[in-house]
Amino acid sequence: MRWKSLSAAAATMAFCAASAVAATRSEMVPVDAATRIHVLDSGPGRSDGATLVFIPGWRFGASIWSAQLAVFARDRRVIAIDPRSQGDSSKTTEGDTPEQRARDLQAVLNRLHVGRRVLIGWSQGVQDVAAYVQQFGTADVDGLILVDSTISGGAPAIAAAPGFASQQLGLLPMLSQSPREYTEGMMHAVITRRLPPAEFNALVDNALKTPTAIGAAMLVADMFGVDRRGAIAKVNCPVLVIASPRSPELADQKAMAAKFHDARFEVVDQAGHAVFVDQPDRFDALVRDFLGRLRH
């Protein structure tokens, strides 16, 4: 009986220890005198693998990656951020561009003493990753995961794909006139899986934390502000490109992947733009396989 009691106690202690390791810490990290970036930081303090850094899309916050934080924090450190002017991070009228968000990211990683890292950017986050590589290279980066977006070609992209540009820019008046209606429609467009109403409304409410005028300016800067394709030549680590079969950029994403020195291209079936929300198991399996192929 005593042995059984001790075994039960040990099992309970192990469970509690594992739970503590996986506990998510919410932090506000200063990146300059006026700007603080909200960060979700989870997983063990020390691990053999690189830290996973999740960067969300336009007007989304770190919480969109909740399922991935829960899965990958079991055996490595995982960080997700609210970029400036998104979620609970500071709202700023200057610097709402991928270039400044990349500098914010580097400041956050330095303050949190992150060493080796894998950067995972979705949608707008792909632009942030490209801007990061342009400024800081990949010396500290073990891998890149780019989710359902190409790297922007800047203003010339308008002439190259006028239909796409017209569609994106044509919706902006609705954002300023009816922000909740616009945002609800956006959520239905990017997430095809039916979410519980509370979860859906939480995503909408979080997106509405970005002031509409700032959101519109961000979208233009992301898509048409800077030609970031030069980052491809600076990448000196493996790359995984994960796409939705519904993406209007599907062929372009495949072509982009072929330009990297070492890249894989994967399509997640039955998924919308937010492939990791619609098909989390398939997405996580692809990420896990990719991580297994990286240097340690």
Mean pLDDT of 265-285: 98
pLDDT of residue 5: 35
- Helices 162-170 and 212-224 cross at an angle (nearest 10°) of 170
Mean pLDDT of 258-283: 98
Mean pLDDT of 264-280: 98
Residue 23 vs residue 184, higher pLDDT: 184
Report whether pLDDT(11) > 80: no
Q: Which helix (H) or strand (E) holds 223?
A: helix 212-224
Longest CA–CA span in the chain (Å) reads 77
**What's the half-sphere exposure (Cβ side, CA atoms, 13 Å) at 18?**
11
pLDDT of residue 295: 64
* Rg, C-alpha atoms of the chain: 19
**Residues 6+ positions from 83 with CB-CB distance below 8 Å:** 37, 55, 56, 89, 101, 104, 124, 125, 128
Per the listing, tokens 């894989």 go with: 264
* Neighbour-count burial of 65, counting CB atoms closer than 10 A to its CB (0-12 exposed, 13-18 middle, 19+ buried): buried
Q: 73-90 pLDDT, tens per residue?
A: 999 999 999 999 999 999
How big is the CA angle at 249 (ends 130 and 268), to the nearest 5 degrees? 90
SS3 category, 265: strand
pTM: 0.90
In angstroms, the CA 78 to CA 22 distance is 10
| Average pLDDT score over the chain | 90
Within a 10 A sphere around the Cβ of 31, how many other Cβ atoms?
A: 22
Q: 201-232 pLDDT, tens per residue?
A: 999 999 999 999 999 999 999 988 999 999 99
* pLDDT tier at 198, thresholds 50, 70, 90: very high
pLDDT of residue 121: 98
pLDDT of residue 287: 98
Residue 18 vs residue 255, higher pLDDT: 255
Mean pLDDT of 234-258: 97
Task: Note whether 45 and 110 are within 8 A (CB).
Answer: no
Pairing of strands 25-30, 36-42: antiparallel
Task: Note whether 72 and 43 are within 8 A (CB).
Answer: yes
Report whether pLDDT(47) > 80: no
Mean pLDDT of 101-126: 97
pLDDT of residue 61: 97
Report whether pLDDT(235) > 80: yes
Task: Note whether 99 and 91 are within 8 A (CB).
Answer: no
Q: Extract the tokens encoding 108.
A: 């956050």
* pLDDT tier at 12, thresholds 50, 70, 90: very low
Q: Left if phi > 0, otherwise alpha if psi is -120 to 50, otherwise beta: which for 148? A: left
Report whether pLDDT(23) > 90: no
Q: Which domains does the chain have, with CATH numbers?
A: 25-292 (3.40.50.1820)
Q: 274: closest CA among 183, 192, 168, 198?
A: 192
pLDDT of residue 296: 53
In angstroms, the CA 273 to CA 70 distance is 21
Q: 167-183 pLDDT, tens per residue?
A: 777 778 889 999 999 99
Residue 98 vs residue 22, higher pLDDT: 98
Q: Extract the tokens encoding 19.
A: 């739970």
